[in-house]
C-alpha cells in the first residue's frame, strides 16, 4: 500500500500541490471571514447538567448575571462641586454610548417622594442642578448617604470607595466586533485618572473582553514563537535553510487549515482553541524530522534521491501515520467529557493532527524531489559526534547498567507517588491569571472593599403570587439576607425586600429609621400606593423589581457577589449555606421528608407517630388527599387516627409529595461563581476519565500493532513513568489540579507514545532481519531511531515551553508540564524501554510480535528495494518517472 502511495505522490506532484493550494485558499477564506472569538468565560458545563440547567433557567427569568461593568474609584474628594459634577458627566456620557443599557452611580440616583394627595410615589433625581443653587453638595451627600440601601452597595462604609455600575448589552458583549464598547467606556473613565487617581475596573464584561483580546494576541505571538524556535532547532540539526523553509511550508499550511476548520465548523476561538495553531507547528515539525532523517540516511546509503524519497514514504509513512493517530487519540478523548468547549477542542485538534500527517507525507517528498540533492554537510548530522556519543552512552546503559537504571527509575517513581498524595484540586475564575495581573488586582480591590466580585445568585420559588408580600415570607427572605450579611465571603445582597424597605421609608418621608419591612397596619395604608405600582417594573429608578421578581413564574431572586474562591471551596460554601437557608425558609420540611420516607418504606409506626405529632403536616397532607372524597374528608375531620385506616387504600404518598411541593419553598443556588465551580469539578472528574480512555484506546492500538499483550505492557511502562513524575512534581510544587493542568496528561501521553511506536516498529523489523539476535536488534533500533527521537523530543520540549510565556497561568502550566513530561518520556523510551526488552528477552518477543495484525513497515518491499542496483554516477541526473518505473 505504502509503495503504491509513494508512486502516486511522486508521479502526481504538481496535481497534488495544486489541490493543496486550493484547499489552503479555501481554509484561508474561512479563517479570515468566519473566525469568531469566544469571550464567554468560566462556563465549561454540559447543557444537560443540573447546575447548567438551573443557570439557563435563571437567565431565562432574569437575564445575564454578569452584564455589569464596574468602575471603582478610591477618593476622599468625590463630594466637591467640581468632582461630583465630573462623576455625573462621565455617567451621562457613558449612558449615551450605543450598547449601554444603564448607568448607576451616586451622581445618578433617584429618590421616592410621597405624594399624599395622589396617594402614590413619585421618583425624582437627587442631583440635577449642576450649579448647586437648588441643593448644596453637602445636602446632596446627606440625602444619598443617609439611605441605608446604598451603603456597601455603591460606596463603602468609610465612604472612600465609590462605584459606577454600567449595564452592558449581552448582544454587544457576545459580538467581537461590538464588544469594544467596554474598552471605549473604560477609556472614557480613565480620562478622570488625574482627578480621582487610579480607576479600577471589574465585572465579567471587563474580564470577558480583555481576556478575549489577550487570547487573540497570544495566538499570533505563539505562532511566531513556534516558527522561530522550531526553525532555529531545525537549522541546528540539519544545517540547511532549505530544510527550514520546506518544513515551515508544511506547518504554516497546517496553521491556515486549523484556523479555517475552526471557522468553517462555526466554532469560536477560546483560550484552549487558540492553542491549536501553534500546536500544529510543534506537532508537525517532528513529522518532518522523522521523514527528513530517513531521507538523509537513505541518500547517504545509495545516493538515489527518488529511491530515497520512495523509501521514506514506504518505511516511515505508516509509522508516522500511527504516531499521529495516537497523538490524535490523546486529544480526541476530550470528546468524552461532554463539555461543549472541550468537545470542540478535541475535535479540531485530533482532525488537524491527522491533516498535519497528510501535509507532511505529501509536501516533504514533493518539494525535496524538486530540490537539489542534499550536500554532505546536510548529512553530517547523522554522524555528529554529540549524537553518536549520546547513542553510545545510552547503549552502554542499556547493555551494562540496566540494574542501576531500574533502581533510579524505581526511586523516582516512589518519590512521585508520594508527591501525588500532596496534590490539591482547585479552580477559580481568575485562577489562571498571575498575581500581578491588572485584572486580578482590580478584582481583589473590589473584593477587599465590598466583600465579593463574582456573581452569586439565589432563586426562591415561592409557589403562588399571593405569598410574595405575606409578612412571614418577607421576614424569612430578610433573615436569609442576614445570613449572607454575616458571612465575610459575600458582598451585600439585594432582593425585593430592599425595594419594599425603600417604599416603606419613602412613605415616612425618607426617614432612614423606617428602612424596614412594611408591617401589617401600614400594608393596609399603603394599599393604594402598592396598587399603583407594578412589581414587574421598577419600584423606583434605582432598583428594578423586574430583575428581582419573576412574577409569571413566582420566583424571587437574591443577588450578590462572592469572593473568587476555588471550585471546591464554593461547593462547600453552597452546601453549608443551603442548610441554613432551607432551615429558615422550610423549618418543617425535614418532618415532611421523614413522613414521605416512612410511606416509601412502609414503616407504619413512624408514620402514625409523625401524623399525630405534626398537625400542620397532617392538615396539609389530608387537604391534598381528601379533595373530592366526602367519605375520607369526614374520617379525617373526626379523628387523625382515622388516617391509619385509609392510608393503605389511597395514594397517600402522592398526596404527601403534592403537599410538600405546594407548601415549601424551592431553593436554587446559581450564578457565574457556582457554574464555574461546578464546571471545574466536572472537568477534573471527566478529564481523568478521558485519560483512562486514552490509555485504553492506545493499548488496544498497540495490541493490534504488536499482537502481544506482554509487549503492550512493556510499551506502556515508559509512558506511565513520565505521567507519574509530572503528577509528583505537581504535588511537591503545589501545582493544583484544574482543567488546564489535567489536560497535560492526555496530551503528553498521546505524544510520548509516538517514540515507543517508532522504536518497537524498528525493533520488530530488526528481529526479522537479524534472525532474533535480541541484543543486536535493540542496539540497531536504538541507533536507527534514537537520533530522530532525540531531535523530535527537543523540538517538542522547546515548542511546548514557549507556552510558559503566556499571560494565563493555565497555559503556562500546560506548556511547562507537557514539556517536562515529554522530556522524561524521551529518557524512559531511550533507556527503560530497550532495557526491559533485553531483560525479558524472548518472554516478550514472541512469534505473534514478529507477525502482527498490522504491518508498520512493509518488510517485503524493503528487501526488494535493497536488492536494486543503483548507478551512483547518474544518481543526481534522473528522470523521476523512469526511476519509479524501474523501482
**Do 690 and 823 fall into the same domain?**
yes
Are both 638 and 698 inside the same structural domain?
A: no
Q: What is the per-residue pLDDT for 261?
A: 95
CA 466 → CA 462, 526, 731, distances in Å? Answer: 9, 16, 56
Q: What is the mean pLDDT of residues 283-306?
A: 87
Final residue in a domain of this structure, among 209, 230, 256: 209
Is the pLDDT confidence value at 867 over 50?
no
Kindly state whether residue 541 falls inside one of the protein's structural domains: yes
Of 276, 365, 293, nearest in space to 328 by CA: 276
Residue 783, pLDDT above cutoff 90:
no
Span of 237-241, 379-383, 783-787, 854-858 with lowest mean pLDDT: 854-858
Residue 760 domain boundaries: 384-421+684-856
pLDDT at residue 574, as a whole number? 93
* Contact (Cβ atoms closer than 8 angstroms) between residue 262 and residue 35: yes
Task: Give the confidence band of 459 by pLDDT, cuts at 50, 70, 90.
Answer: very high
What is the model's pLDDT at position 861? 41
pLDDT for 531: 64
Mean pLDDT of all residues in 464-492: 90
Please tell me whether residues 498 and 405 are part of one structural domain. no
Rg value, the chain, Cα:
35
Cα distances (Å, whole numbers) of residue 200 to 56, 163, 189, 450, 756: 30, 9, 9, 13, 53
CATH number at residue 752: 1.20.1640.10
| pLDDT band with cut points at 50, 70 and 90 for residue 126 | very high
- 844 & 716 share domain: yes
Q: Which of 25-39, 502-516, 862-876 has the lowest mean pLDDT?
A: 862-876
pLDDT at 586: 84
pLDDT(365) > 90: yes
Residue 428 lies in a domain: no
Q: Do 558 and 604 share a domain, yes or no?
A: no
Percent pLDDT > 90 in the chain is 29
Residue that is last in its domain, among 209, 241, 272: 209
646 vs 718, residue with greater confidence: 718
How many structural domains are present in the chain?
4
Q: Are 557 and 457 in contact (CB under 8 A)?
A: yes
Within 526-614, residue ranges assigned H as helices are 527-531, 567-585, 589-601, 604-613
Distances (CA, A) of 565 to 74, 379, 680: 24, 57, 12
| Closest by CA position to 337, among listed 694, 811, 695 | 694
Q: What nine digits make up the cell of 631? A: 367519605
Handedness of CA 296, 300, 301, 304 (dihedral sign): positive
Task: Give domain status of residue 558, yes or no.
Answer: yes
Give the pLDDT band (50/70/90) at residue 883: very low
Percent of the chain at pLDDT > 70 equals 83
Q: Which residue has the higher pLDDT, 66 or 298?
A: 298
| Residues 261-275 pLDDT 10s | 999 998 988 878 888
* Per-residue pLDDT tens digits for 579-605: 999 889 887 666 666 666 666 665 555
Question: Which tops the pLDDT comparison, 635 or 596?
Answer: 596
Do 653 and 526 lie in one domain? The reply is no
For residue 280, tell me if it sits in a domain.
no
- Asked whether 276 and 258 are in contact (CB, 8 A), the reply is yes
At residue 849 the predicted structure's pLDDT band, cuts being 50, 70 and 90, is: low
833 or 629, which is more confident? 833
Report which of residues 67 and 652 the model is more confident about. 67
Asked whether residue 655 falls in the same domain as residue 689, the answer is: no
Q: Per residue in 150-205, pLDDT tens?
A: 999 999 988 899 999 999 998 888 887 788 999 999 999 999 999 999 999 998 89
Q: Is 406 found in the same domain as 469? A: no
CB 320 within 8 A of CB 288: no
Position 42 pLDDT exceeds 60: no
Q: What is the pLDDT of residue 653?
A: 56
**pLDDT band, residue 256 (cuts 50/70/90):** very high
Describe the chain by its helix, strand, coil percentages, rounded to 5: 70, 10, 25
Each residue's pLDDT tens digit, 308-355: 899 888 878 877 888 888 888 878 878 877 778 888 888 999 999 999
Residues 405 and 472 in one domain: no
Q: Where are the alpha helices (DSSP H) in 707-773?
A: 709-732, 739-769
Residue 410 has pLDDT above 60, yes or no: yes
Is residue 424 left, alpha or beta, with left meaning phi > 0 and alpha meaning psi from -120 to 50? beta
Residues 706 and 845 in one domain: yes
Strands in 106-157 per DSSP E:
110-115, 120-125
Judgement on whether residues 654 and 787 belong to the same structural domain of the protein: no
The pLDDT of residue 43 is 63
> Could you give the CA distance from residue 761 to residue 322 in angstroms, rounded to a whole number?
11
The answer as to whether 54 is a domain residue is: no
What is the average per-residue pLDDT within 699-712? 76
- How many Cα atoms within 13 Å fall on the side-chain side of residue 221? 12
Tell the residue number behind the cell numbers 432598583, with chain if given: 543
With respect to residue 352, please indicate whether it lies within any of the assigned structural domains: no
**φ, ψ for residue 475, nearest 5 deg:** -65, -40
In this prediction the pTM is 0.76
Is 16 part of a structural domain of the chain? no
pLDDT at residue 693, rounded to an integer:
79
Q: Distance between CA atoms of 60 and 62, rounded to whole angstroms? A: 6
Predicted pLDDT at 787? 80
126 burial type by CB count under 10 A (0-12 exposed, 13-18 middle, 19+ buried): middle
Q: Which pLDDT band holds residue 613 (cuts at 50, 70, 90)?
A: low
My answer on whether 723 and 812 are in the same domain is: yes
Give the mean pLDDT of the chain.
81
Residue with cell 547503549: 395
pLDDT score of 605: 59
Q: What angle do CA 191, 196, 201 make, to 5 degrees?
A: 70
Whether 237 is in a domain gets the answer no
pLDDT at 619: 56
Amino acid at each position: 500500500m505504502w509503495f503504491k502511495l509513494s508512486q502516486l505522490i511522486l508521479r502526481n506532484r504538481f496535481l497534488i500541490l495544486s489541490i493543496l493550494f486550493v484547499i489552503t485558499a479555501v481554509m484561508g477564506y474561512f479563517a479570515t471571514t468566519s473566525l469568531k472569538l469566544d469571550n464567554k468565560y468560566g462556563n465549561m458545563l454540559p447543557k444537560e447538567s443540573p447546575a447548567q440547567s438551573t443557570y439557563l433557567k435563571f437567565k431565562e427569568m432574569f437575564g445575564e448575571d454578569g452584564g455589569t461593568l464596574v468602575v471603582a474609584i478610591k477618593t476622599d474628594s468625590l463630594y466637591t462641586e467640581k468632582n461630583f459634577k465630573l462623576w455625573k458627566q462621565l455617567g451621562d456620557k457613558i449612558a449615551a454610548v450605543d450598547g449601554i443599557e444603564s448607568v448607576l452611580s451616586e451622581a445618578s440616583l433617584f429618590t421616592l417622594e410621597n405624594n399624599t394627595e395622589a396617594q402614590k410615589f413619585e421618583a425624582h433625581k437627587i442631583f440635577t442642578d449642576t450649579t448647586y443653587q437648588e441643593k448644596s453638595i453637602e445636602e446632596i451627600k446627606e440625602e444619598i448617604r443617609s439611605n441605608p440601601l446604598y451603603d456597601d452597595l455603591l460606596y463603602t462604609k468609610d465612604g472612600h470607595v465609590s462605584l459606577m455600575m454600567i449595564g452592558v448589552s449581552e448582544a454587544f458583549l457576545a459580538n467581537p466586533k461590538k464588544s469594544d464598547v467596554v474598552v471605549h467606556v473604560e477609556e472614557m473613565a480613565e480620562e478622570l485618572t488625574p482627578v480621582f487617581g487610579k480607576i479600577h475596573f471589574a465585572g465579567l464584561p471587563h474580564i470577558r473582553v480583555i481576556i478575549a483580546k489577550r487570547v487573540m494576541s497570544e495566538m499570533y505571538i505563539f505562532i511566531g514563537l513556534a516558527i522561530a524556535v522550531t526553525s532555529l532547532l531545525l537549522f541546528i540539526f540539519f544545517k540547511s535553510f532549505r530544510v527550514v523553509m520546506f518544513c515551515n511550508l508544511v506547518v504554516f499550511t497546517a496553521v491556515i487549515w486549523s484556523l479555517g476548520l475552526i471557522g468553517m465548523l462555526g466554532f469560536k476561538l477560546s483560550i484552549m482553541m487558540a492553542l491549536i495553531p501553534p500546536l500544529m507547528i510543534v506537532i508537525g515539525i517532528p513529522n518532518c524530522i522523522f521523514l527528513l532523517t530517513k531521507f538523509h540516511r537513505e541518500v547517504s546509503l545509495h545516493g538515489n534521491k527518488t529511491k530515497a524519497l520512495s523509501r521514506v514514504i514506504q518505511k516511515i509513512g505508516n509509522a508516522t501515520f500511527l504516531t499521529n493517530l495516537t497523538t490524535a487519540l490523546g486529544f480526541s478523548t476530550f470528546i468524552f467529557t461532554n463539555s461543549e468547549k472541550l468537545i470542540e477542542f478535541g475535535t479540531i485538534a485530533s482532525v488537524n493532527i491527522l491533516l498535519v500527517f497528510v501535509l507532511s507525507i505529501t509536501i516533504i517528498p514533493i518539494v525535496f524531489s524538486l530540490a537539489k540533492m542534499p550536500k554532505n554537510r546536510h548529512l553530517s548530522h547523522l554522524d555528529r559526534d554529540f549524537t553518536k556519543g549520546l547513542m553510545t552512552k545510552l547503549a552502554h546503559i542499556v547493555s551494562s547498567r540496566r540494574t542501576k537504571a531500574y533502581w533510579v527509575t524505581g526511586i523516582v517513581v516512589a518519590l512521585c507517588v508520594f508527591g501525588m498524595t500532596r496534590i490539591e484540586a482547585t479552580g477559580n475564575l481568575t485562577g489562571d491569571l498571575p498575581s500581578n495581573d491588572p485584572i486580578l488586582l482590580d478584582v481583589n480591590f473590589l473584593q477587599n472593599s465590598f466583600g465579593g466580585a463574582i456573581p452569586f445568585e439565589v432563586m426562591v420559588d415561592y409557589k403562588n403570587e399571593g405569598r410574595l408580600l405575606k409578612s412571614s415570607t418577607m421576614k424569612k427572605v430578610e433573615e436569609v439576607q442576614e445570613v449572607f450579611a454575616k458571612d465575610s465571603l459575600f458582598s451585600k445582597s439585594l432582593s425585593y425586600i430592599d425595594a419594599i424597605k425603600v417604599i416603606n421609608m419613602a412613605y415616612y418621608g425618607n426617614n432612614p429609621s423606617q428602612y424596614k419591612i412594611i408591617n401589617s397596619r401600614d400594608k393596609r395604608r399603603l394599599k393604594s400606593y402598592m396598587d399603583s405600582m407594578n412589581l414587574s417594573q421598577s419600584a423606583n429608578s434605582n432598583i428594578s423589581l423586574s430583575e428581582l421578581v419573576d412574577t409569571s413564574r413566582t420566583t424571587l431572586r437574591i443577588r450578590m457577589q462572592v469572593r473568587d474562591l476555588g471550585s471546591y471551596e464554593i461547593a462547600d460554601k453552597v452546601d453549608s449555606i443551603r442548610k441554613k437557608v432551607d432551615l429558615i425558609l422550610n423549618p418543617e420540611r425535614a418532618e415532611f421528608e421523614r413522613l414521605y420516607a416512612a410511606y416509601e418504606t412502609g414503616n407504619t409506626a413512624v408514620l402514625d407517630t409523625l401524623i399525630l405529632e405534626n398537625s400542620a403536616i397532617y392538615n396539609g397532607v389530608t387537604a391534598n388527599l381528601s379533595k373530592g372524597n366526602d367519605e375520607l374528608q369526614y374520617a379525617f375531620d373526626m379523628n387523625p387516627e382515622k388516617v391509619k385506616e385509609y392510608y393503605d387504600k389511597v395514594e397517600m404518598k402522592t398526596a404527601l409529595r403534592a403537599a410538600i411541593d405546594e407548601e415549601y419553598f424551592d431553593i436554587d443556588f446559581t450564578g457565574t461563581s457556582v457554574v464555574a465551580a461546578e464546571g471545574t469539578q466536572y472537568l477534573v472528574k471527566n478529564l481523568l476519565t478521558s485519560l483512562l480512555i486514552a490509555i485504553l484506546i492506545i493499548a488496544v492500538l498497540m495490541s493490534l500493532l504488536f499482537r502481544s499483550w506482554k509487549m503492550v505492557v512493556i510499551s506502556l511502562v515508559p509512558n506511565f513513568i513520565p505521567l507519574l513524575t509530572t503528577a509528583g512534581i505537581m504535588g511537591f510544587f503545589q501545582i493544583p489540579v484544574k482543567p488546564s493542568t489535567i489536560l497535560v496528561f492526555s496530551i503528553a501521553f498521546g505524544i510520548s507514545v509516538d517514540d515507543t511506536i517508532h522504536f518497537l516498529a524498528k525493533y520488530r523489523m530488526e528481529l526479522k532481519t537479524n534472525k532474533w539476535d535480541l541484543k543486536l536488534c535493540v542496539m540497531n533500533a536504538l541507533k536507527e531511531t534514537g537520533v530522530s527521537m532525540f531531535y523530535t523530543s527537543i523540538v517538542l520540549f522547546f515548542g511546548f515551553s514557549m507556552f510558559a510565556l503566556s499571560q494565563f497561568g493555565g497555559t503556562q502550566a500546560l506548556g511547562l508540564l507537557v514539556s517536562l513530561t515529554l522530556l522524561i518520556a524521551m529518557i524512559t523510551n531511550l533507556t527503560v524501554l530497550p532495557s526491559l526488552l533485553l531483560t525479558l528477552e524472548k518472554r516478550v518477543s514472541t512469534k505473534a510480535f514478529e507477525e502482527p495484525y498490522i504491518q508498520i513497515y512493509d518488510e517485503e518491499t524493503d528487501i526488494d528495494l535493497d536488492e536494486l542496483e543503483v548507478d551512483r554516477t547518474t544518481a543526481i541526473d534522473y528522470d523521476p518517472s523512469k526511476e519509479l518505473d524501474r523501482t
